[in-house]
Chain A
């Protein structure tokens, strides 16, 4: 066998390594997990050396029975929006602050007073928020000045691994577009923003296309990974973009939904989508002329996991007895319950929310419980709550969206119940394909393949994917969810004063007893 592509997706839970052949078929796969350190309600960190160790292990595991000479290219997909400080010897300065960390609220707030919000959005394609690299870096500057002084480069997760493999510190368009410091149109670091934030441009790595070959595996890295020295490394992209590619989202007529722990809807457009309320953001695609407008909700699969683990004691017992998955049992139980959960609604804001509200203080809720509400109604409400929140995001795209069907990716897209619900809630035909579970790796394989010339361009994606038969929305249900959405959104609006009061009281130390 020859012409194999080795891909890594550095997620929050672990690193998944996948090897593909030229036809896009998955040859082997391995997931190596690593911890995530949560603290103080708004902090989330990971040790970059855990990433590297996972890469080394997963590479060896996934290469079992494969000759390292057959690997034509190594490439990456990675979690985005982080902040990892590297010193001048290439050593990490402590843990990386990762994407879900929102400790830098003050920094983001201060910066927003210094720069016009609309201008900022025009430059970066993103709202200014503590979710991004910039305010995290400013937090380091304000709170860990020694560390900041010793910082010579800021890297994203995959960029650090690329550095470990090749000795070169670079990043790609897509990850650069998740830092809040990148000029999306010019594809350069924004001097305007850097000067206002007082950040020296040298601290940022050079930016190249996601398909660029950025080096070769060094001797030293080869020793640790058992890869062949000199194997080409293509930088790859942030997981927002690798997912888009796997979603077949390569032309202006495409749309995809990634439904994993979090969930996002993405499109592919020639122009930055300037949503007037800034609920949507834009990633840089490999093609300089294209961006991917995207809206991400925080707790999608997380909400369902929470339901599975916390409020379904009976189903858990059943699952244990039958050796089945809790979620499968729940979906069996609620298959025939009434659409609309007898009026109960679930607000899926278990970790605050990004799109459509961008409110880190939001919390989740069940509202509308009556005496005759059953556990099954609450279960269905969880699914419907996530779907309605995605519908909120979907509707924002309305002015630019001309997709005829939606490609579903991510672990939750394996549930047929969920696929039909998404079709009904969003009112669109839904399809999946054979790479929904390894979508980010698959997307990066395309980048790697194009990078070394195996594939000519992105048109190859739709040829390599095997789509399943489309699920059509049920018109009655579509009408129902259309009517339901305003009420769902109004429940959130009604709770905003409560969220504010909660935050104020926390500020006074009320919650700490």
Chain B
């Protein structure tokens, strides 16, 4: 019986292969690591060959534990917003420029000039910037014309893996919505953006729904990766989309918060968020075509806590986090007037200011380390609170799923409940969301799973934290002070 889904999570530091059975249970998993080449400060590349090697290695490892005939489908979650140029035969012409590569700022300026900042946001749901695929492709055109000339398609990481498995070029709506070139409303590559910058629509692969079966594993691929020839390949989606699915955000509403090094809040909505401040950005939702996935990402959530632990607590171990929880709990709500601005590498949502910086504001002679810990947590929570408020007005739901390593932080759970004024829901698995999302798309795409609701048994709810509504009221006012601290310093960040 074909009863397994092989789900791959192709991240920035490695690929994780996970086998899920017909009931959604995790059976085996294996991570194969690879490196990121970072140079010139903010250039970042990967050789797509190392992705394939990691996929083959990890596939073989997990398949050795079952009968490969029992695999119903392969599916991917992948890092997004990259730019990999391949020729007609699918051969990479250059390393893939990664999501965090910032070399194409000049090209981003060019497209903003030609199409208009707000218009691009309206069309593709994202602010135009050097983070996305289009400006990166324009950089290739400008600086590596010989590469651009031979470029047949530009692919996202998982799309290249799908090509290696099936020989077919395709991408899905979700990954397409991370290119700055995709019309979110029409689900089509945008002539309105691409024509003025002089990039042909044909450079982009056909975009399909994320659960689409795009082919079968070829004989040649099978030899390399150990997945049987003829196994169904489901296109899958970007890791942002897969994480949402894994966090149970598979139908309208369903807010959730992911917290790792960075942190984001997201929902499933019926339309892209119409926000004049453009705090959030919107992906195409992988679950179905009439859903969207507005999202607001802050840069340094867990990274702030690690920074503090490393510098002031000696290390970043779990024990240290427990200690910080205790310290934080000994400071009253509001940290005796101390505020932490969590902007250690600039900020995306809500301020979109790469020059923003971190700070502790409101120190007095009576401020102690407890207040510092509490303010650290509160600053992160209030920043997310600003972000989620844009989302919550779109949906009736007031239960927020909390996933990622940051959800292990007990103080943070309660703080998010209090700041959001929402119930915080903790599922059994906190760090498997992307793999689960890929498995859901694979399972539903090949027919092994009836629908996405299997996520409820795949990752059952473990506990719920109730908000203290008095604290919520306090934090609503407190957030205004937090905003004032940032806004006051905004000009200072710019001149520093």
Q: Are A510 and B484 in contact (CB under 8 A)?
A: no
Chain A 154-186 interface mask (CB, 8 Å, partner B; 1/0):
000000000000000000000000000000000
For the complex, give the distance between the alpha carbons of A448 and B405 in Å: 69
Q: Are A371 and B485 in contact (CB under 8 A)?
A: no
Is B389 on the interface with A (CB-CB < 8 A)?
no
Q: Which residues of B contact A349 (CB under 8 A)?
A: 363
For the complex, give the distance between the alpha carbons of A501 and B478 in Å: 11
Known A-B contacts A513-B333, A513-B334; the reply to A498 vs B481 at CB < 8 A is yes
Is A467 on the interface with B (CB-CB < 8 A)?
no
User: How far in angstroms is the closest Cβ of chain B from A399?
Assistant: 28
Q: Which of B284-336 contact A (CB under 8 A)?
A: 300, 303, 307, 311-314, 332-334
Nearest CB in chain A to that of B363: its residue: A364
Q: Are B362 and A501 in contact (CB under 8 A)?
A: no
Is A208 on the interface with B (CB-CB < 8 A)?
no
Q: Which residues of A contact B481 (CB under 8 A)?
A: 498, 501-502, 505
Binds B, one of A193-201, A285-293, A305-313, A456-464: A305-313
Binds B, one of A267-275, A423-431, A488-496: A488-496
Binds A, one of B73-81, B114-122, B487-495: B487-495
Q: Among the listed A311, A369, A494, which residue makes an inter-chain contact with B492, where contact means beta carbons less than 8 Å apart? A: A494
For the complex, give the distance between the alpha carbons of A314 and B372 in Å: 16
Number of interchain pairs (Cβ within 8 Å)? 119
For the complex, give the distance between the alpha carbons of A215 and B105 in Å: 80
Nearest CB in chain B to that of A261: its residue: B365
Q: Are B365 and A491 in contact (CB under 8 A)?
A: no
Q: Which residues of A contact B485 (CB under 8 A)?
A: 495, 498
Nearest CB in chain A to that of B306: its residue: A371
Say which size band chain B's interface belongs to.
35 or more
Q: Among the listed A363, A491, A510, which residue makes an inter-chain contact with B363, where contact means beta carbons less than 8 Å apart? A: A363
Q: Are A371 and B303 in contact (CB under 8 A)?
A: yes
Q: Which residues of B contact A313 (CB under 8 A)?
A: 312-314, 369
Max count, chain B CB within 10 A of own CB: residue among A367, A373, A502: A367
Is A343 on the interface with B (CB-CB < 8 A)?
yes
For the complex, give the distance between the alpha carbons of A56 and B414 in Å: 55
Q: Which of B331-351 contact A (CB under 8 A)?
A: 332-334, 337, 344-345
Is A235 on the interface with B (CB-CB < 8 A)?
no
Is A350 on the interface with B (CB-CB < 8 A)?
yes
Max count, chain A CB within 10 A of own CB: residue among B311, B369, B470, B478: B311
Q: Which residues of B contact A378 (CB under 8 A)?
A: 311
Known A-B contacts A350-B363, A497-B484, A502-B481; the reply to A487 vs B337 at CB < 8 A is no
Q: Which residues of B contact A495 (CB under 8 A)?
A: 361, 485, 488-489
Q: Which residues of B contact A364 (CB under 8 A)?
A: 362-364, 367
Chain A 100-117 interface mask (CB, 8 Å, partner B; 1/0):
000000000000000000
User: How far in angstroms is the closest Cβ of chain A from B477?
Assistant: 5
Q: Which residues of B contact A26 (CB under 8 A)?
A: none
Q: Are B334 and A371 in contact (CB under 8 A)?
A: no
Is A414 on the interface with B (CB-CB < 8 A)?
no
Closest 6 CB pairs of A and B: A364-B363, A369-B358, A367-B359, A375-B311, A371-B344, A365-B361
> Residues of B with Cβ closer than 8 Å to A?
300, 303, 307, 311-314, 332-334, 337, 344-345, 357-365, 367-369, 372, 470-471, 474, 477-478, 480-481, 484-485, 487-492, 495-496
| Known pairs A495-B361, A502-B337 / 6 extra A-B pairs, C-beta < 8 Å | A310-B367, A310-B372, A366-B363, A368-B496, A373-B307, A487-B495
